[in-house]
Amino acid sequence: MTDRRLGGLSERLEAGRQRLDELPRWKADLVVLLGAVGLTYLVFGVVGLLSGVSTNEITGFLYTVTFFGAVFGLLTLALNLHWGYTGLFNIGVAGFMAVGVYTMAVLTADPTGSPAGFGLPIPIGVVGGVLAAAAVGAVIALPALRVRADYFAIVTLGFSEIVRLSITSGSLRQIEFGDTVYGTGGGSGIRYTPVDSVVPWLLDLPGIGVAGDTLYGIAAAGGVSQSVVNRLLYALVLIAFVVVCYLSLQRIARSPFGRILKAIREDEIVARSLGKNTQLAKIKVFALGCGLMGLAGILWIGSRSLATPESFMPIVTFYIFVALIIGGAGSNTGSVAGAFVFAAFLWEGPRFLRTILRANLDTRSPPTIYDAGVDLLAADPMPLVGYFIGSLDELRWVLIGVVLVVLMIYRPNGLFGDRKEIAAAVDLSNRGGGSNE
Amino acid sequence: MSNQQTAAGPATESETAADADTILEVEGLEKRFGGIVAVDGTSFSVERGTITGLIGPNGAGKSTTFNCITGVHKPDDGSVVFDGTDITGQPPEKIANHGLVRTFQIARELPEMTVLENMMLGPKNQLGEDLWRSVLPGARRTVIEQEKTLRQQAWETLEFFEIDHLAEEYAGTLSGGQRKLLDLARAQSTDPEMLLLDEPMAGVNPSLEKKLLDRVHDLKQQGYSFLLVEHDMDVIMQHCERVIVLHQGAVLAEGAPKEIRSNEAVIEAYLGGDV
């Protein structure tokens, strides 16, 4: 009975996969991406509602998942361009984010603040931050790309730590210039207007203002506050950034330039022997990816009002690698899907689980696992459960480890890494004449 | 002593021919790795539209000579002139763009790219190799148009080399001989003037070897020039117009296959050497 039902399920799955394979590639990508997002929302919504988490909390979680899904999506796309496509093992992602965020912060911070900034409008700050990250990427690329792959990784990791430690260093913390004190603010960070304040500012503009008022009005009628509307709109802005970057990177992937990148990954000497200027391609692609990392940093850390060096620890780079490995290096679709799955289930999942458990179980968290063990011997498992709930943030690491191990065993190429993604602007299978299409 | 004489004899002959139509001129090429002199003042020339063989016992400096000509290594001394241009010490991509393209001793396919992708990589100066032209909507249309032309060429080349049935396989799944064919087809798709083939028959079964040689001859008919490193003496003797023998980094003898076969210095180098 169960066997037959299982058989039916696997048959249906197989049929579904076949139907997916028959779709044009872009449609299949869309189905996969929307499916992953939709399924995640559904799981959070249904599980949340069934276990009695309040609607407010659920929407809060969905917002956070969307937010992190989007910023991680941008970062994995950038890293995929470097590592998945070109084979550049960049483990300095956090450093390039830091360059973007700090440039943006210094450009836009209040001129009377401490440390002071230049008080420029946010869009200029964002563009400046992205350009700075790209420029630093290009400069790093010049010496770094001359060394072999593993040494390249060391150079990028070293760079990202140098950036972080420079920000903390005394000589950059405060730089006096005339009467004002500029600088990075060292360990206590630098304050600025968060980038998501662009949303209410836009809605206040004459012309759009009317639409903004209507939107707020409708929301208020539904019992939703202005700040929630602003947050949701910011999430939409993030999604728009992901969509634009995804489509642009897909075009790069499916172009002669993308072919050169792939060839560099596979065997650079071959690419050079066929007359391709790989050094130039690598510098271009490295600067582009670094700029994108700067942008992602700005949209993430920049939407808080304070940047501190702790936000750019090497561990951030590790998160992005995990997200990319889950999705499948070498595939843009996989990158975005992996980032979203990572944000939902590994990043926010444990916290969501804790909310559910706290809402349903009356647990106190004992101070150490030893105390919990003692209670367990007394046939009372609840303190142990409580202990685990209390340390779910740390258990996230265990979870990430388990996921990586399982993935390496059963799907070493990630969720989408085993797909043939052909680097060409046209369908190569079509062997007929060119002009009659 | 007599070695030098035999080496000098055909060389002077070829110099008169060289003025007529030399495509590649190597002069006093030297390459040292630490204390080891791999190439020690090699000089030779290749005539346009011929198949020239480069032979020599193991360690004679054939591959290093190849690497110095194609820019993989920078020569310590000497000059390489291709088609009237001094290409000494230029990076490989520049030399390839002059029309001098090589294949590798161990075929270097791009394993996780399909055979077609490998082929599409070849053509020079593709519009879409420019990053922005691939992304911007209006410009991308010109890229797509060019890609259609290149796709047709790629299929035709694959048919010519009779590996079109493998077009959509990953190159990494090909057999050793098929990889050699792909390597040659890919090099040819760059539309070069001259091809440098580093042991194209190594590890290739006889029927495939015949196919490969037929293609080389077809291409020669079309005006391509070849420099061929090969260990298989039969291949060299049957298919090359001229043969250059390297020994300990220098040219030992140079001439038509018949002359080489009866050259005592060459026989001694092959039989008396450490091979």
Are B105 and B153 in a shared domain?
Answer: no
Q: How many domains does chain B divide into?
A: 2
Are B102 and B220 in a shared domain?
Answer: yes
Mean pLDDT for A341-360 is 86
H and E: helices and strands count for chain B = 11, 10
CATH class of A26-360: mainly alpha
Interchain pair A422, B151: CB under 8 A: no
pLDDT tens digit string along B228-241? 998 888 888 888 99
Domain extent at residue B136:
115-173
Are B40 and B158 in a shared domain?
Answer: no
The predicted structure's pLDDT at residue A420: 75
**B195 located within any domain:** yes
The predicted structure's pLDDT at residue A5: 55
Q: Give the integer Cα–Cα distance in Å for B140 and A190.
A: 42
**B185 located within any domain:** no
The predicted structure's pLDDT at residue A9: 67
Are B152 and B59 in a shared domain?
Answer: no
Interchain pair B121, A276: CB under 8 A: yes
Are B224 and B262 in a shared domain?
Answer: yes
The predicted structure's pLDDT at residue B7: 40
Interchain pair A256, B190: CB under 8 A: no
Q: Give the integer Cα–Cα distance in Å for B196 and B235.
A: 16
Tokens linked to B231: 């260990």
> pLDDT-derived band of residue B1, with 50, 70 and 90 as boundaries?
very low
User: CB of A244 within 8 Å of any CB in chain B?
Assistant: no
Q: Give the integer Cα–Cα distance in Å for A226 and A64.
A: 17
Of B144, B173, B202, the residue that ends a domain is B173
Count the alpha carbons within 13 Å of B240 in the hemisphere toward its beta carbon: 31
The predicted structure's pLDDT at residue A53: 82
| Residue A247 predicted with pLDDT over 90 | yes
Can you give the CATH number for the domain in which B91 is found?
3.40.50.300
Are B164 and B214 in a shared domain?
Answer: no
| Residue A433 predicted with pLDDT over 60 | no
Q: Give the integer Cα–Cα distance in Å for B138 and B210.
A: 47
Could you say which of B92, B120, B155 has the minimum Cβ distance to residue A424? B120
User: CB of A145 within 8 Å of any CB in chain B?
Assistant: no
Are B84 and B39 in a shared domain?
Answer: yes
B241 or A392: whose pLDDT is higher? B241
B64 or B204: whose pLDDT is higher? B64
Residue for token digits 């008169």? B16
pLDDT tens digit string along A325-339? 998 888 899 899 999
* Nearest CA-CA distance, residue B254 and chain A, Å: 28
Interchain pair A275, B101: CB under 8 A: yes
A349 or A24: whose pLDDT is higher? A349
**B181 located within any domain:** no
**B168 located within any domain:** yes
ipTM value:
0.85
Residue for token digits 């005539």? B47
The predicted structure's pLDDT at residue A4: 55
Tokens linked to B172: 């990494």
Q: Which neighbouring-strand residues pair with A176?
A: A181
pLDDT tens digit string along A116-167? 888 899 999 999 999 999 999 999 998 888 887 789 999 999 999 999 999 9
For residue A276, which residues of chain B lie inside 8 Å, CB to CB? 93, 121, 129
Interchain pair A274, B112: CB under 8 A: no
Are B102 and B202 in a shared domain?
Answer: yes
**B182 located within any domain:** no
Are B45 and B71 in a shared domain?
Answer: yes
φ and ψ at residue B86, rounded to 5 degrees: -80, 115
Go through B184-219 and write b for each residue having 16 or more CB atoms within 10 A of its CB, e for each that does not. bbbbbbbebbbbbbbbbbbebeeebbebbbebbeeb
- Domain map (residue ranges) of chain A: 26-360
Are B240 and B265 in a shared domain?
Answer: yes
| Residue B16 predicted with pLDDT over 50 | no
Are B93 and B131 in a shared domain?
Answer: no
Sorted by sequence, the CB contacts under 8 Å of residue A409 that are 6+ apart come out as: none
Contact at 8 Å (CB) between B135 and A417?
no
Q: Which of B270, B260, B267 is nearest to B6 (CA)?
A: B260
Are B92 and B200 in a shared domain?
Answer: yes
Q: Tell me the one-letter amino acid at A75.
A: L
Of B173, B200, B221, the residue that ends a domain is B173
Q: Which of A281, A274, A259 is nearest to B70 (CA)?
A: A274
